[in-house]
Amino acid sequence: MIAAGEPAPDFTLRDQDGEEVSLADFRGRRVLLVFYPFDFSPVCSDQLSLYHEVKPEIEEKGVTVLGVSVDSPYAHKAFQEKLGIDTTLLADFEPKGAVSRAYGSYVDAAGMSNRTLVLIGADGAVEWAYESPTPGEFPGANVIFDALAS
């Protein structure tokens, strides 16, 4: 997993609407990357729904939330609509998991991203990173707020 103090690897991925989104687009702002395994799994649905509920509080702290998984933009759009969320979801689809690998979040044996949170500072350096012990449990909102407070 990527460590605090390291430069955040730049990337360009397609979002749920097929639009290109680059990390460089957010330079000068803080970004929380939320790596998660798959759209539509029960645990991922709970995780993204919870983060959507607290997203206004995260944004009040000057942080933009971006979800990242290996699913396609089409799956992301359907997932976003099913959950009723407006969080930008980025498709780490082809080459599969390239961004997840760059951040140390990819699980080769399962072909998916692990549940990893990476807070990137306005200067483009990693401020904080957290990885769930298993893909079956997601970090609660308190983990994010604790990181933002420190």
Active site residues: 44
Q: How many C-beta atoms lie closer than 10 Å to residue 65's C-beta? A: 19
Looking at this protein, which amino acid is placed at residue 98? A
Q: How many C-beta atoms lie closer than 10 Å to residue 134's C-beta? A: 10
DSSP character at residue 84:
T
DSSP character at residue 97:
T
131 alpha carbon, distance to own chain's centre: 12
Q: How far apart are CA 24 and CA 12, in angstroms?
A: 8
Cα dihedral 82, 13, 52, 105 sign = positive
